Amino acid sequence: MRGLEIPHDPNLIVGFDSFDDAGVYRLTDDLAIIQTVDFFTPVVDNPYDFGRIAAANALGDVYAMGGKPVTAMNLVCFPSRTMDIAILRDILRGGMDKLHEAEVTLVGGHSVDDPELKYGLSVTGVIHPCKIVLNSGAVPGDSLILTKPLGTGIINTAIKADMADEKTVGTVTEQMATLNRRASQLMQEVGVHACTDVTGFGLLGHACEMIQNNSIGIAIYCSAVPIFAGSIEFARMGVVPGGAFRNKAFRAAVVEFAAGVPQWAPDILFDPQTSGGLLISTSPEKAKVLLEKLHYTDHREAAIIGEIVAEPKGKICVVE
Ligand code: CO
Ligand code: CO
């Protein structure tokens, strides 16, 4: 963070300055802890589902680093004077069920009275210091795999405007509540060069973090990107969260859209995701193997959506 002096610590393996998914701190030569925290306002109307999604989302950063989440703590902002406490119970139950599925132990939490409901978790995981999967490390020729469809920010905006039908809400809710756990295990089995999870900055925002050191570029094949049914329609109607425009403006100098790319593409590719999929960079041969394995899991829509290129460096080109 600019303007903030972070004291140097030789055991800090991944800190603020690498724009990675989580902090990693070495405890011993063969053990490091991964720490991450995330909380936000409801993205769906059902409190139980919101809890599941918030937990899956918080765990996502540990999975993106190739780590194993171990413990978690609840973070709650709740308007106790105006809202039924049963709602909070349902949220926490959703979170707990997800932690149980992930074999993560809830060790505590903290709640404050707040006019605006928010929920999330801090998660601690473990990893061998030599096995950390960074968001940097991709090499030219690599294929890029995305494990979940895009469009959750747009659909969430449609939900708030009462425009999304039940089926769309159901599909998107299940995807957001799906853990990146299997995908993370599979990528470690196969072996990859880099990984990050797609969250608030959108696909292209997080892809930009993969080329931070400006030694490589990325080509994204727009037509290969998995997208939730309905989100293109909503984007055409202008049902797009403000975050998508901020993400696009922030990366305007880095991302180029080729002629022929549909007009809705920037809205979808910069759409801020909640509990989005993993974006994985690995050799084309391994990518094929990994994709096949992913298709046998809950990630049936996982796809190869682009490649790492040598030129132009430090740029992302979105092509048809
Ligand atoms: Co992340
Ligand atoms: Co995060």
Condensed to tens digits (0 to 9), the pLDDT of residues 74-112 reads 999 999 999 999 999 999 999 999 999 999 999 999 999
pLDDT of amino acid 1: 54
Q: Cα of 157 to ligand 1 centre, how many Å? A: 21
Looking at all shown ligands, the one closest to residue 209's CA atom is: 1
Per-residue model confidence as pLDDT tens digits over 171-213: 999 999 999 999 999 999 999 999 999 999 999 999 999 998 8
Can you tell me the mean pLDDT for 272-301?
97
Q: Cα of 252 to ligand 2 centre, how many Å? A: 22
Q: Cα of 29 to ligand 1 centre, how many Å? A: 25
Domain limits, the chain: 12-131, 143-319
Looking at all shown ligands, the one closest to residue 197's CA atom is: 1
Q: What are phi and psi of 48, to 5 degrees?
A: -60, -45
Looking at all shown ligands, the one closest to residue 40's CA atom is: 2
Asked whether the predicted pLDDT for residue 214 surpasses 90, the reply is no
Looking at all shown ligands, the one closest to residue 133's CA atom is: 1
Q: Cα of 21 to ligand 1 centre, how many Å? A: 4
Angle, to 10 degrees, between the axis of helix 284-295 and the axis of helix 181-190? 140
Quick one: which H or E segment has residue 24?
A: strand 23-28
Asked whether the predicted pLDDT for residue 231 surpasses 60, the reply is yes
- Beta pairing class for 105-113 and 68-78: parallel
With the C-alpha atoms ordered 184, 186, 192, 198, is the resulting torsion angle positive or negative? negative
- Joined tokens for residue 37: 């925290």
SS3 (DSSP) at 111: strand
Q: Cα of 65 to ligand 1 centre, how many Å? A: 9
Q: Cα of 258 to ligand 2 centre, how many Å? A: 30
> Which pLDDT band, with edges at 50, 70 and 90, does 234 fall under?
very high
Q: Cα of 60 to ligand 1 centre, how many Å? A: 7
Q: Cα of 212 to ligand 1 centre, how many Å? A: 15
Asked whether the predicted pLDDT for residue 17 surpasses 80, the reply is no
Asked whether the predicted pLDDT for residue 3 surpasses 70, the reply is no
Q: Cα of 61 to ligand 1 centre, how many Å? A: 5
Beta-carbon contacts of 112 under 8 Å, excluding residues fewer than 6 positions away, are 76, 77, 78
Q: Cα of 209 to ligand 2 centre, how many Å? A: 13
> 143-319 adopts what CATH topology?
Phosphoribosyl-aminoimidazole Synthetase; Chain A, domain 2 (3.90.650)
Can you tell me the mean pLDDT for 281-291?
98
pLDDT of amino acid 288: 98
pLDDT of amino acid 18: 73
Q: Cα of 39 to ligand 2 centre, how many Å? A: 9
> Which pLDDT band, with edges at 50, 70 and 90, does 5 fall under?
confident
d(CA 43, CA 175): 13
Q: Cα of 53 to ligand 1 centre, how many Å? A: 15
Residues with CB under 5 A from ligand 2 (ion): 38, 61
CB 142 within 8 A of CB 284: yes
Q: Cα of 85 to ligand 2 centre, how many Å? A: 27
Can you tell me the mean pLDDT for 54-61?
97
Q: Cα of 61 to ligand 2 centre, how many Å? A: 6
Q: Cα of 201 to ligand 2 centre, how many Å? A: 10
Share of the chain above pLDDT 90, in %: 93
Q: For domain 12-131, say whether CATH 3.40.50.300 is its number.
A: no
Q: Cα of 274 to ligand 2 centre, how many Å? A: 10
